[in-house]
């Protein structure tokens, strides 16, 4: 049985899909997961016995090459809705399940006009995508490797002649040369007392300076799968305060990583990291959650935050990425990607985690 048929089968099972019920999948990541289709426009209609992909003329050829499901062409939203109606008629469906977490109010209103009974599918597709199979894990591991290698390539050349953007450009180019399809997300290179304290800073033309902490958050994309890695470096000598903060984050991250295993509530991993910061009276400087799932989507279930209700399970691929940020002082973040397995969990990235002080150029 093909991967696609297997996954559609598992979805049908999860939903206990009966005759006269259709499922409309509108989230493109889910469409890709279920069919292999990678276009930027497509709806998937699943009934008890049929699977149909509706897309426009830019993608019909590609869809037929990438998938084994029926491909139907529709040029506009109106034509897509018409195809949905035709499918509901053919399958005598009286109930249409849809993705309320993704479908817009406008499209919902259009669907309401063609179906009497619309039921949200809930988080079933996100749940289905959680446990990575060996092929998915292999893609993620390649993505991890390309980011690790790119960082190792670029690291020795980082000095105060470079701007944040320069570092980003080299990292992304090197990931590609190693085999990545591209960056997994906008690479973050955040340096110095202000920028490094912004967790999602965009690389600027700021030139690196002696004494900077430099937060580099970089991932690669391989066959649609993401990786996610953060390391913090010092350029030359940085202050003792910053070095202390680095060690505190290092300790929080170590404990977080150790807490990841099947059966553990996701929020517990977050609590473990947060507790380390609390013991140093620094909890207010940890301004985000501890981690998230990674797969076809860079931020997906399970989320590792204080309000998470997820329980970690085998096959989950998650980040552990505590950090401390204070504008004027600087920021530190250390992040690994882990897979939950039968033995607990395994860290996928191999890049070292001790503070690396990059040599600054001697002043003449």
Contacts with a copy of itself by CB under 8 A lie at 38-40, 56-62, 65, 75-76, 78, 98, 100-106, 108-109, 120, 165, 169, 172-173, 176-177, 181-182, 186, 197-202, 287-288, 307, 325, 327
CA distance 99 to 93: 17
Q: How far is CA 192 from CA 43, 236, 355, in A?
A: 45, 12, 15
Are the beta carbons of 276 and 254 closer than 8 angstroms? no
By C-beta, is 178 or 315 nearer to a copy of itself?
A: 178
User: Which of 256/331 has CB closer to a copy of itself?
Assistant: 331
Q: Please tell me the distance from the alpha carbon of residue 54 to that of residue 47, in angstroms, as a whole number.
A: 14
**Nearest distance in Å: CB 105, a copy of itself:** 4
Residue 31's contacts (CB-CB under 8 Å, 6 or more residues apart) are 25, 37, 42, 43, 44, 53
- Tell the smallest beta-carbon distance from residue 354 to a copy of itself (Å): 26
Nearer to a copy of itself, 199 or 360 (CB): 199
Q: What is the DSSP string of 278-307?
A: HHTT-GGG--S-SEEE-SSSSSEEEEESTT
Taking the least distance from each CB to a copy of itself, the nearer of 48 and 127 is 127
The residues pairing with 183 across neighbouring beta strands, listed in sequence order, are 220
Query: What tokens does 321 get?
Result: 């990425």
**Nearest distance from residue 157's CB to a copy of itself, in Å?**
15
Do the beta carbons of residue 209 and residue 192 sit within 8 Å?
A: yes
Beta carbons of 48 and 68 less than 8 angstroms apart: no
Least CB distance from residue 265 to a copy of itself, whole Å? 17
Min dist CB 332 to a copy of itself, Å, is 15
| Least Å from the CB of residue 179 to a copy of itself | 9
Residue 16 or 105: the one with the smaller Cβ distance to a copy of itself is 105
**CB neighbourhood size of 35 (10 A):** 25
């Amino acid at each position: 049985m093909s991967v696609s048929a297997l996954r559609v089968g598992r979805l049908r099972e999860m939903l206990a899909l009966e005759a006269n019920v259709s499922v409309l999948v509108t989230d493109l990541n889910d469409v890709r997961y279920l069919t292999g289709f990678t276009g930027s426009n497509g709806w998937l209609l699943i009934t008890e016995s049929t699977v149909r992909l509706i897309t426009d003329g830019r993608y019909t050829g590609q869809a037929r090459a990438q998938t084994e499901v029926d491909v139907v062409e529709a040029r506009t939203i109106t034509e897509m809705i018409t195809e949905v109606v035709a499918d509901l008629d053919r399958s005598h469906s009286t109930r249409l399940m849809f993705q309320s977490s993704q479908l817009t109010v406008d499209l919902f209103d259009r669907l309401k006009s063609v179906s009497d009974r619309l039921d949200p599918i809930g988080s079933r597709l996100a749940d289905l995508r959680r446990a990575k199979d060996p092929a998915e894990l292999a893609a993620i591991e390649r993505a991890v490797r390309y980011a690790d290698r790119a960082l190792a390539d670029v690291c020795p050349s980082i000095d105060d002649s470079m701007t944040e953007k320069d570092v980003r450009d080299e990292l992304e180019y090197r990931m590609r040369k190693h085999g990545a399809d591209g960056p997994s997300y906008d690479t973050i290179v955040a340096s110095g007392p202000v920028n490094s304290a912004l967790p999602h800073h965009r690389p600027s033309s700021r030139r690196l300076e002696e004494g900077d902490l430099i937060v580099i958050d970089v991932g690669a994309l391989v066959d649609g799968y993401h990786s996610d890695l953060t390391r913090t470096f010092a350029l030359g000598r940085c202050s003792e305060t910053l070095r202390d903060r680095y060690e505190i984050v290092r300790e929080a991250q170590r404990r977080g990583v150790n807490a990841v295993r099947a059966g553990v509530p996701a929020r517990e991993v977050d609590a473990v990291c947060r507790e380390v910061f609390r013991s140093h009276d620094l909890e207010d400087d940890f301004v985000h959650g501890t981690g998230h799932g990674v797969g076809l989507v860079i931020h997906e279930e399970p989320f590792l935050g204080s309000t998470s209700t997820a329980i970690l399970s085998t096959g989950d691929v998650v980040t552990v990425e505590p950090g401390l940020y204070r504008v004027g002082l600087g920021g530190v973040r250390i992040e690994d990607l882990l897979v939950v397995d039968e033995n607990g969990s395994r860290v996928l990235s191999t890049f070292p985690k001790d503070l690396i002080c990059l040599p600054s150029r001697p002043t003449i």
